Amino acid sequence: MDGWICPLAQVPDEAFASGLLGAGLALDPLGDVVCAPAAGEVISVHAAGHAVTLRLAEGLELLLHFGLETVRLGGAGFTPLVQAGQQVASGDPLLRVDVNAVAARAKSLIMPMILIEAQGWDWQPALEQGLVAKGDVLGRLSGGMAAEVSLESAGLVFAQELRVPLAHGLHARPSAKLAACAREFEARVTVQIRGQSAAITSPSAMLRLGVGHGDTIELTAQGAQAEQALAALVALIESGMGEYRAVSEAAPVVTAPVMAAKAPQAGDVLRGVMAATGIAIGRAWPMQRPEPSLAQVSAGAVVEQSQFDAALTALRADLAAQASQGSAQQQAILAAHLALLEDEDLLARVRDAMAEGASAAMAWRKVMWAEAEALRALPDPRFAERAGDLLDLELRLQWQLCGGQPEAPVPPEGAILIAEDLMPSEVAALDLTRVVGLATAKGGPTSHVAIIAASRGLPAVVALGEGVLSIEQGADLVLDADGAALEVAPDGLRIAAVEGLIAARAKRRAAALAMAGEEGRTSDGTRIEVFANLGKLGDAAPAVANGAEGCGLLRTEFLFLDRQSAPDEDEQAAQYGAIADALEGRPLIIRLLDIGGDKPAPYLPIAPEENPAMGLRGLRVGLARPDVLSTQLRAILRASVGRKVKIMAPMVARVEELRALQAVAQAEAEALGVALPDLGVMVETPAAAVMADALAAECAFLSIGTNDLTQYTLAMDRGNPAVAAGLDGLDPAVLRLIAQTCRGGAAQGKWVGVCGGLASDPLAVPILIGLGVRELSAAPAMVAEIKALVRSLNLADCEALGAQVLQAASAGDVRRLAAAFIGGQA
Ligand code: PEP
Ligand code: MG
């Protein structure tokens, strides 16, 4: 094809530039069809479509590798025009490339052309550098006597089976690195898979094996240094060589056909999970993450250890310096990172790996990635999301080790940042003033990224799936976080509508904030308390600034989730007191630990359960572990003195559970000589909703946890993406239970609140008020707007809406009725 020729040494990729894969040259393409530069047989077309190998008529092999790191595109942008086994003449088309699509995602478009197994051949390029047109002569090969290959065949044979953890299998670059590693030993090493084998020193033969992620291969080594060679190669492969992705325990039974990920087209809408509220119009900016170059081979344990120590010291100093300048939130994150760097167990494992012969870079990577994988495998998404912190630190130390510093990429004005996942330090380093939204393929709604996005007022959608990574740079996007959607190149009408929404939203928010200090009341004067849900001390001040009249749910388990040992009474009392004080006299409802189910805590191990959502969870754990319950109750009781504190019990299903709790609480209060604060019950099980009157008769208030009430009513696991679409708290089945709860509370003269997600959903607010709810505890960022909405409502109208939606057949119908109602009020 037409293009600009340059020597291999100029290819910005070590494996190609160093000649590890073989001699040859590179072409910066000026076309979109790669044609055969010589006649021969196609011996392989890579599954990802980016590489074709020909066996030339003269016997040697030629690899055409389009772009750098293009194997990661999984086929997107490549249409092979030939198959393995096909004969081609010089000039025949081999591969069609969607250059724009590839350019948006690949490190480079440059195409190395490599002669492999060319021992005995002499390659003379026709030109070193310059413009060439299709059909021009690139160079000449002469000779052709195969070089004598002498390999030690004596010695014991060693063999080992392993699974390949490289995300894209053993493609060109890792094959080249393996070949280089193998050449350092006096041994012949072969790789076997599916009845075929290849010498590990031949990257082209390795490519033909088509070893993919998770495949089991067998390495066989023979020769004087067979054992050492095998150990080094296995360690290299197991390290993931910079492309690690965990391999699941069970081998896949059925292998699905590999489908090239389709690049999203204009008009496509990608669905994810909201991580921070808002809506934005912008242009796609897929973030490219610079990669440090890792020393693969150890220079000796002592040297590696001292280099590692130096890098560690430098990184600690860096983090400390950064923390001294950052916001309170950034400081908290950096402090967590610093603590990780002090983790003796972690550091000991790195030292052991170096002592066993790994380089500092490989040892650190192996330990940190294993740690991150272990976190990711935990059922609680909060832990899984912390894996991002570990990977972040891993990279930062690698940069220290290789002596370079990554340059923070500069986003263009109005960018919607797209990434697989975002690490806290990357977000902190970016100039977010130019960014209007964040969209990630992975991640969870409570990750640090979500926290930072929310604190900057940026909409963010996570878990959009791999498809988001194929969006072309510069594509027009609408990021609708509230709709949990990313719209690709929407039409002009939609853009105009969103512009209207953004302007209206800004106006609404400003007006809501201006009135945030006022009491929550409907237009007819009905008092509706608008509270905020808190998970840590730092949430309290922003909640108050947004107009929170108190805290309707302090998730105490979140205060101590990352603890290895149970927090003691003093520690708990201090936290609760500090949070109450940060609310400046406003009421604080402290929920007893809600551990179990989807929220395990390391310091309170619960035996594995068949069905944890229905097992030992919430108050049931407290009653099964009276020591834990009593410690927490004493801490709350101590913090309650002179403060407006109430206690709330999670996951109550039966009146007996409430009575048992009251007995313990009463005894602790008497022992401490303090008055027992109001004690309320969370209505999260259908049983509690149905028995609300009986519960209300014996407690001070009811607060509906709509997240759990919805999952238990609809029998849909709140963490299972397969049923996520149906998991709507506005389902009439849930609403009927909410109505029954409100009737039960009213019958006993007790107030009923909502502290689940429905309290932050504007469509739900008039319905909840109409059904009898008098306290709404929302996400802190939503408080001002929920208060403003409450002010616009009239109780009688809400009651009519409440009666109407109880007769609806589906959540969709309820949402339509509520939208029409709110539209009519506006
Ligand atoms: C709920 O279930 O609605 C609730 C508020 O509790 P959590 O989300 O913490 O389970
Ligand atoms: Mg709950």
The whole domain housing 625 covers 522-825
Residues 669 and 759 in one domain: yes
pLDDT at 261: 45
Residue ranges of the chain with per-residue pLDDT less than 70: 117, 119, 144-156, 248-262, 289, 324-332, 379-385, 423-429, 443-456, 561-564, 598, 602, 608, 719-725, 825-826
Residue nearest atom 8 of ligand 1, based on CA coordinates: 707
Q: Is the CB of 652 under 6 A from ligand 1?
A: no
CA of 579 relative to ligand 2 center, distance in Å: 21
Residues 591 and 617: their CA atoms lie apart, in Å, by 13
Burial of 820 (0-12, 13-18, 19+ CB in 10 A): exposed
Residue 712 and residue 758 share a domain:
yes
Answer yes or no: is 507 within a domain: no
Are residues 679 and 804 both part of a single domain?
yes
* CA-closest residue to ligand 1 atom 9: 555
Please give the backbone phi and psi of residue 642, each rounded to the nearest 5 degrees, phi first.
75, 10
Q: Which ligand is nearest to the CA of 651?
A: 2
Whether residues 566 and 610 fall in one domain: yes
Residue 510 within any structural domain of the chain: no
Q: Reduce the secondary structure of 150-215 to three states and give it as a string.
A: CCCCCCCEEEEEEECCECCCCCHHHHHHHHHHHHCCCCEEEEEECCEEEECCCHHHHHHHCCCCCC
DSSP for residue 412: P
Same domain, 747 and 656: yes
Verify that 553 and 691 share a domain, yes or no: yes
Q: Give the ligand whose atoms come closest to the C-alpha of residue 755.
A: 1
Ligand 1 touching residue 708 (CB < 6 A):
yes
Q: Choose one of 433, 467, 501: the last residue of a domain.
A: 501
296 occurs within a structural domain: no
pTM for the complete prediction? 0.55
User: Among all residues, which ones are annotated catalytic?
Assistant: 448, 755
Q: Whose CA is nearest to atom 4 of ligand 1?
A: 705
Question: How far is Cα 509 from Cα 516, in angstroms, rounded to an integer?
Answer: 10
pLDDT on residue 379: 67
Q: Does 452 fall in a domain?
A: yes
Q: What pLDDT, on the 0 to 100 scale, is given for residue 478?
A: 97
For ligand 1, say whether the CB of 753 is within 6 Å of any of its atoms. Answer: no
380 in contact with ligand 1, CB cutoff 6 A: no
Does any domain span residue 666?
yes
Distance (Å) from CA 705 to ligand 2 centroid: 5
Of the candidates 140, 301, 157, 176, which has an alpha carbon nearest to the alpha carbon of residue 225? 157
Helix (H) or strand (E) segment spanning residue 689 = helix 686-690
Give how many domains the chain has, as a whole number: 5
CATH no. for residue 738? 3.20.20.60
Closest atom of ligand 1 to 756 CA is 3
pLDDT at position 147? 39
Is the CB of 594 inside a 6 Å radius of any atom of ligand 1? yes
- Provide the CATH number for the domain around residue 76: 2.70.70.10
- Cα–Cα distance, 234 to 210 (Å, whole number): 18
The CATH number covering residue 192 comes to 3.30.1340.10
Distance 706 CA to ligand 1 centre (A): 7
Distance, in Å, from the CA atom of 518 to the CA atom of 718, rounded to the nearest integer, reads 35
**What sign does the dihedral 328-332-337-342 (CA atoms) show?**
positive
Task: Let me know: does 602 contact 382? Beta carbons within 8 Å.
Answer: no
Among the candidates 108, 143, 178, a domain finishes at: 143
Same domain, 459 and 480: yes
Tell me, yes or no, whether 471 and 389 share the same domain. no
Sequence-distant contacts of 537-544: CB under 8 A, at least 24 apart? 537/575, 537/578, 537/579, 537/582, 538/328, 538/329, 538/332, 539/780, 540/579, 540/582, 540/583, 541/582, 542/455, 542/780, 542/781, 543/583, 543/780, 543/783, 544/582, 544/583, 544/584, 544/586
Q: Select from 377, 401, 425 the last residue of a domain.
A: 401
Strand order in the sheet with 279-286: 269-271, 485-488, 476-480, 279-286, 415-419, 435-440, 460-462, 273-276
CA distance 509 to 482: 15
Evaluate whether residue 261 is within a structural domain: no
707 lines ligand 1 (CB under 6 A): yes
pLDDT value at position 445?
A: 53
CA of 711, closest atom in ligand 1: 2
How far, in Å, is the centroid of ligand 2 from the Cα of 762?
20
Q: Is the CB of 555 under 6 A from ligand 1?
A: yes
Nearest CA to 580 among 545, 554, 558, 546? 554
Closest CA to 703 of 680, 723, 732: 680
The predicted structure's pLDDT at residue 250: 43
Residues 477 and 570 in one domain: no
What are the helix (H) ranges across 587-654?
619-624, 626-640
* 667 within domain boundaries: yes
Predicted confidence at residue 669, as pLDDT, reads 98
| Shared domain check, 536 and 420 | no
Domain with 325 in it: what CATH number? 1.10.274.10
Q: 206 and 132, same structural domain?
A: no
Note whether residue 512 is domain-resident.
Answer: no
Q: Where are the alpha helices (DSSP H) in 515-559?
A: 540-545, 556-559
Say if residue 483 is in the same domain as residue 393. no
The alpha carbon of 514 is separated from its chain's Cα centroid by a whole number of angstroms, namely: 36
Structure confidence at residue 681 (pLDDT): 98
Distance 564 CA to ligand 1 centre (A): 23
| Residue 597 Cβ < 6 Å to ligand 1 | no
pLDDT at 251: 36
